[in-house]
Amino acid sequence: MEYTKITRYLRCDILANSNDIEQYGYDKNLSEGNLIDLAVINNCPIIIKGGKDGKWYLKGKGKKLEYLKTKISNNIGKSREGIFCLLLE
């Protein structure tokens, strides 16, 4: 799948405990670019950073874009400071 747009949502996490690739998350020291590359390879349109010192998570594999956008819309601002979600479209 080819993605052409990336949107960042601050203080937002979705699909809790539903990590599609690497169940326990990716190392916090990987770069955002590294995770975008992994997300594209694994067809996961959601990337979550679990805070400044938190791990990275890939989510949303096989989920419809409309469903993911609804989940994001319902959760923006509900997570603690430093957590963010990237949506790849």
Residue 16: the pLDDT is 84
At 70 the pLDDT is 97
62-86 confidence digits (pLDDT tens): 999 999 999 999 999 999 999 999 9
- Looking at residue 63, what is its pLDDT? 94
pTM comes to 0.92
Nearest to 65 by CA among 47, 46, 39, 41: 46
Report the pLDDT value the prediction gives residue 1, as an integer from 0 to 100. 64
pLDDT score at 66: 97
| pLDDT, tens only, 7-55 | 999 999 999 877 767 778 999 999 999 999 999 999 999 999 999 999 9
Helix (H, G, I), strand (E, B) or coil at 46: strand
